[in-house]
Amino acid sequence: MVTVNGEHSISITSIRDLSEINIGQLINPDQDFVSFHLEKDGFKPLKLILPVTDFHGQKLQELLRREHGSLLHLRLPGDIPSSILLDISLEHVLIGSMMFGFMAIIFLLFLIASKNRSDHRRALYRRKPQKEAPKKEEPSPSGQSNETKQTPHPESSEKQKENPNKANDSNSSVIKYEEQKDFLSNDSQINIPDFEPGTVFDDYRLGKIIGRGGISTIYAGKDPDGKLFAIKLMSRYLDDMDMVGRFFVEGTVLEKLNKEYPDAPIVKLKSIGKHTWKKKQMPYLVLEYIDGISLKNRIKSQPSLTTSEKLHIVKQLLDALRAIHSTNVVHRDLSPDNVILRHNTDSEVCLIDFGVVKYEVDWMKNTSYGAAYGKPEYMSPEQFNSPGSLDYRSDYYSLGVLLYHMFTGNPPFSDTNIYIVSEMHQTHKIPEIPEYVPVNIRKAITHLMEKSPENRPSSIDDIIKYLKE
């Protein structure tokens, strides 16, 4: 219903009816003002009082559009979709716009936060955490500390008692940490291309590539006297402080082991160096060149190793582990790939690749020892579920896996999916060992591969008891 000046009432059923109402026919030209009253049941009445100026010939619908604002949604009985005049104020528009803008900002911040969390998770593996002030541990209900402690190797403890003033530091390394800091770059990831044979590399002339690691390339190389060496060059992640530090730890550990246990079947280190290439500093290790075959390939070849030869190999590995554990080092990568049989004999071994050893030195504290390292088929359960707190008994488990491989031809747990292999090591029973494997070796494997470190042998001597022919 439309009422003009309180006198003329016009009933409408659709918005289209408003376009037919001529204002000039409804008002007195002598009036100064004219009032309009629009109402419908269930809706707020609309009332306008407007001056009479140029209304003649103007349609009511056009007037209300001009003077009142926008079209809103009032339903009239004759409207087919449902549109007609309504009252919208400018404040409503502003409030709606502000709310939309606020929600858009919140959504944008959420996307940025999600991306940052994703980037953080990807970088967590290699990021060096900041040093934190030591936190005071709250005592547990039993009165014991909540801190997880690693079990020291018994021979290491005895050795420390004999010489309590001898510290496991890196002061004897060829390149001190103050010099090593030159390698720590803040650039984006730096990868070094392969060098051509014949390239002069400091005092060495490089030959062919004889191996690759996760962060390094190994070349055959000769010194000025023509003696052959293996040169392990860090060729990837030169920008990663943690990785560079680990590379130097390998050199530090080998230097210490070679000095204290020169007869141990462990690869010999000649020197640690640095090479400048296109203004980039590259650390490298010069190692003895071993002419031989990996135990992994020897297991596959014919004729097969005899039981006596296998036991001789294992006993040598125990000598290597005795030296390693006595210096508070955990190898963490004991596998047939890292055991080399020298060509001049079929059972003289050399343990190589100390690139993922666990060794505490002052300048590598608070780094990512919590990450999982090693070859999944030979890793202990704790290397998967608590890598930051493992001790020497983790290497015993790997030795058990290696024994299983040597005497059966395959590792006990294997799959292309690392997560499945991890689950196998942590929860599955050892596959049945064939009866042709000597009883004492079966017992050794079972004992070494106990899921809990506490249930494994506690020393090298405990393992040797199983190896009597």
Cα angle for residues 185, 188, 190 (degrees, 5° grid): 75
Cα angle for residues 297, 331, 372 (degrees, 5° grid): 95
Residue 39: pLDDT band with limits 50, 70, 90: low
Cα angle for residues 370, 314, 214 (degrees, 5° grid): 35
**Rounded percentage of the chain residues whose pLDDT exceeds 70:** 59
Q: Look at residue 229 and tell me whether its pLDDT is greater than 50.
A: yes
Cα 131 to Cα 367: distance, rounded to the nearest angstrom:
9
Cα 339 to Cα 395: distance, rounded to the nearest angstrom:
14
Q: Report the pLDDT value the prediction gives residue 25, as an integer from 0 to 100.
A: 62
Spatial CB neighbours of 410, under 8 Å, sequence gap ≥ 6 = none
- pTM as predicted: 0.61
**CA-CA-CA-CA torsion for 181, 186, 188, 191, nearest 10 degrees?**
-10
Q: Which CATH class is domain 293-364+371-469?
A: mainly alpha
Looking at per-residue pLDDT, the higher value among 219 and 237 belongs to 219
Spans of all domains in the chain: 2-85, 172-289, 293-364+371-469
Spatial CB neighbours of 229, under 8 Å, sequence gap ≥ 6 = 204, 220, 221, 222, 223, 270, 286, 287, 288, 289
Residue 236: pLDDT band with limits 50, 70, 90: confident
For residues 217-237, give the mean pLDDT: 93
Closest CA to 61 of 22, 89, 103: 22
Q: Report the pLDDT value the prediction gives residue 204, as an integer from 0 to 100.
A: 92
CATH for 172-289 (3.30.200.20, 3.40.50.2300, 1.25.40.10, 3.30.70.3270) = 3.30.200.20
- pLDDT tens, residue by residue, 139-182: 443 344 444 445 566 665 555 444 433 333 333 333 333 333 33
- pLDDT tens, residue by residue, 312-365: 999 999 999 999 999 999 998 999 999 999 886 667 899 998 887 776 544 344
Cα 199 to Cα 177: distance, rounded to the nearest angstrom:
28
- pLDDT tens, residue by residue, 43-52: 556 666 666 5
Cα 76 to Cα 65: distance, rounded to the nearest angstrom:
17
